[in-house]
């Protein structure tokens, strides 16, 4: 199936939310450190993987002050990415060919304060799952890197809840409203209140619609056409409007939650001709 309107809205919203949190909230921390080798059976042979103690890394070069890497230092020599060398921003690692297993790999990179994930789970299941798993955004005892693919907290989970078309004008124009729910997992009340306050103020803001296939990262978690900046996304013509934002907190009276949890409910509208 080719991408539909809701696919495009979800992609555009995730790109905007990530940028808005980094730009308006300055929700990142610059880090410098050693990367450690490990194996990944999902990747083709010939690559060596060196991972950091953090995920996800910032890949948006429009974030002033954030260190967006274009390569790493291998035995003190800067080695940029190329067609056989990839920076996996989602998993906080590099995927390089032609490196010796004993190489000393270091790098500088900006780490997001909140990882961004898509999810189809409801809020109750997300809370239960994230309280049962040990998936904090630091390596566990005895490890020097975070393994790939597992989600890590703090994080914001995006769920495209539903969509509705309401007749707006003659000629078949509808007001299309997409309902997007986000669950926020924070380490402390300060961070949670900051995210809720920041996005509560995003009501009546607009952002550009991008095609589902124009998501900036490829299958390696690297930038498709580096460098990437959010301004490139803003060149699209169609605007999506944040009509309503509702924020709330999870009240755990039993004290069983390991995180500080909040909820963001967005109503995203666009005027369009769905039957054209």
Task: Collect all residues with Cβ–Cβ distance below 8 Å to 111 and sequence separation of at least 6.
Answer: 28, 29, 30, 31, 54, 55, 56, 57, 58, 92
Q: Please, are residues 179 and 266 in contact by the beta-carbon 8 Å criterion?
A: yes
pLDDT of residue 119: 92
The rounded mean pLDDT for the chain is 90
Torsion of Cα atoms, 21 then 29 then 160 then 214, to 10°: 90
Q: Which residues of the chain have pLDDT under 50?
A: 132-135, 141
CA distance 40 to 62: 31
CA distance 191 to 64: 21
Q: Please, are residues 194 and 53 in contact by the beta-carbon 8 Å criterion?
A: no
**Among 126, 214, 155, 206, which Cα is nearest to 21's?**
155
CA distance 216 to 196: 26
pLDDT of residue 95: 97
CA distance 231 to 205: 16
């Amino acid at each position: 199936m080719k991408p539909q309107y809701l696919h495009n809205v979800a992609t555009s919203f995730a790109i905007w939310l990530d940028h808005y949190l980094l730009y308006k909230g300055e929700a990142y921390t610059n880090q410098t450190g050693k990367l450690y080798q490990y194996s990944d059976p999902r990747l083709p042979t010939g690559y060596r993987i060196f991972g950091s103690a953090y995920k996800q890394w910032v890949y948006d070069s429009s974030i002033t002050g954030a260190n967006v890497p274009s390569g790493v230092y291998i035995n003190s020599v800067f080695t940029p990415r190329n067609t056989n060398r990839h920076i996996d921003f989602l998993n906080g690692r590099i995927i390089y060919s032609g490196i010796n297993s004993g190489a000393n790999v270091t790098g500088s990179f900006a780490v997001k304060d909140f990882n961004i994930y898509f999810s189809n789970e409801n809020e109750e299941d997300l809370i239960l799952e994230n309280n049962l798993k040990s998936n904090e955004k630091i390596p566990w005892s005895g490890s020097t890197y975070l393994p790939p693919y597992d989600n890590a907290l703090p994080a914001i989970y995006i769920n495209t809840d539903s969509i509705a078309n309401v007749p707006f004008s003659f000629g078949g124009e509808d007001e299309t409203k997409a309902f997007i729910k986000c669950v926020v997992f924070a380490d402390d009340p300060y961070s949670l209140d900051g995210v809720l306050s920041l996005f509560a103020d995003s009501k009546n803001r607009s952002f550009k619609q991008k095609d589902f296939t124009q998501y900036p990262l490829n299958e390696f978690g690297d930038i498709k056409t580096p460098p990437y900046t959010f301004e490139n996304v803003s060149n699209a013509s169609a605007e999506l409007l944040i009509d309503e934002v509702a924020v709330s907190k999870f009240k755990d009276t039993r004290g069983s939650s390991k995180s500080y949890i909040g909820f963001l409910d967005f109503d995203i509208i666009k005027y369009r001709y769905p039957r054209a």
